[in-house]
Amino acid sequence: MTDVRVIEVKQSVFADNDKKAAALRADLKQRGTFLLNLMSSPGAGKTTTLLRTLEALRDELNIAIMEADIDSDVDARTLIDAGAQSIQLHTGGMCHLDALMTNQGLQELFGTQSNELDLVILENVGNLVCPAEFDTGASANAMILSVPEGHDKPLKYPLMFSVCDVVLINKMDALPIFDFDLEQARKNILMRNPHAEIIPICAKTGEGIDVWATWLKKRVALWKAQV
């Protein structure tokens, strides 16, 4: 009797992606380009946070942004109108980006650059599940939890919080009208990831952006120093 061949598709997909992600990370290190993978639920404020981040760091770093969405180009347009270097990636219905898709976007960016890019930020698809499963090759993972979403999200979406180096708690100006317990949010995040940096911000008013920009600038400098 012939043995049935069992192919673990999910594992092979992830293992293959992990290899591509590691190769991409090594290439980015050689170039001295730091890639930040920014994730969140839909509407948590990724694009507004990026606009503030650009304001804070554009004089010191050469920055470009890749906007990933299933459809539309509203976010890339917003960023370009604000003077940013930005491209839109359409995922063809996919709920996440993998290392191959990320690399495609990066090659497009590098092709149009005369100078070295210090920092590329990938705004991932708004989703707390699938993007956490795929290593994009990023130098660091960041996520935004917004106050209106509630402090229980780390309980429901464990992987997202465990893969992130930094969690920005956005829309702090909305704290008075929502049942959001900041201390409980901190505890829930640290339960999933004891090493997570937690930074409360308000992208609309600019609150906390200096702390976030300082964190990011240090990480970029460290990345470049290790080349």
Among 155, 191, 206, 218, binds a second copy (CB under 8 A): 155
Contact stretch for a second copy (CB under 8 A) within 23-31, 54-62, 63-71, 105-113: 63-71
Half-sphere exposure of 176 (CA within 13 A, CB side): 1
Note whether 86 binds a second copy by CB under 8 A: no
Closer by beta carbon to a second copy, 10 or else 195:
10
Note whether 16 binds a second copy by CB under 8 A: no
Whats the size of the chain, residue-wise? 227
Among 22, 81, 113, 156, binds a second copy (CB under 8 A): 156
Two tokens at 104?
A: 């495609």
Q: How far is the CB of 173 from a second copy (least distance, A)?
A: 7
CA-to-CA distance for 227 and 29, rounded, in angstroms? 6
Two tokens at 37?
A: 């993978």
- Kindly provide the b/e burial profile for residues 35-66, where b requires at least 16 CB atoms within 10 angstroms of the residue's own CB: bbbbbbbeebbbbbbbbbbbebbeeebebbbb
Q: How far is the CB of 61 from a second copy (least distance, A)?
A: 28
Half-sphere exposure of 53 (CA within 13 A, CB side): 28
Two tokens at 40?
A: 């969140």
Among 126, 137, 200, 208, binds a second copy (CB under 8 A): 126
Residue-wise DSSP of 81-134: HTT-EEEEEE-TT-SS--HHHHHHHHHHHHHT-SSPPSEEEEE--S-SSGGGGS
CA-to-CA distance for 109 and 64, rounded, in angstroms? 8
Among 26, 42, 113, 222, binds a second copy (CB under 8 A): 42
| Phi-psi group of 72: left, alpha or beta (phi > 0 → left; psi -120 to 50 → alpha; rest → beta) | left
133, 157, 151, 127 alpha-carbon torsion, rounded to 10°: 50
Site string for a second copy, 91-120 (x = CB under 8 A): --x-x-------------------------
Size of the site for a second copy (CB under 8 A): 34
Note whether 13 binds a second copy by CB under 8 A: no
Site string for a second copy, 162-201 (x = CB under 8 A): ---------x-xx--xx-----------------------
Among 74, 82, 191, 222, binds a second copy (CB under 8 A): 74
Note whether 69 binds a second copy by CB under 8 A: yes
Note whether 43 binds a second copy by CB under 8 A: yes
Residues that bind a second copy (CB under 8 A): 9, 41-44, 69-72, 74, 93, 95, 125-130, 146, 148-150, 152-153, 155-159, 171, 173-174, 177-178
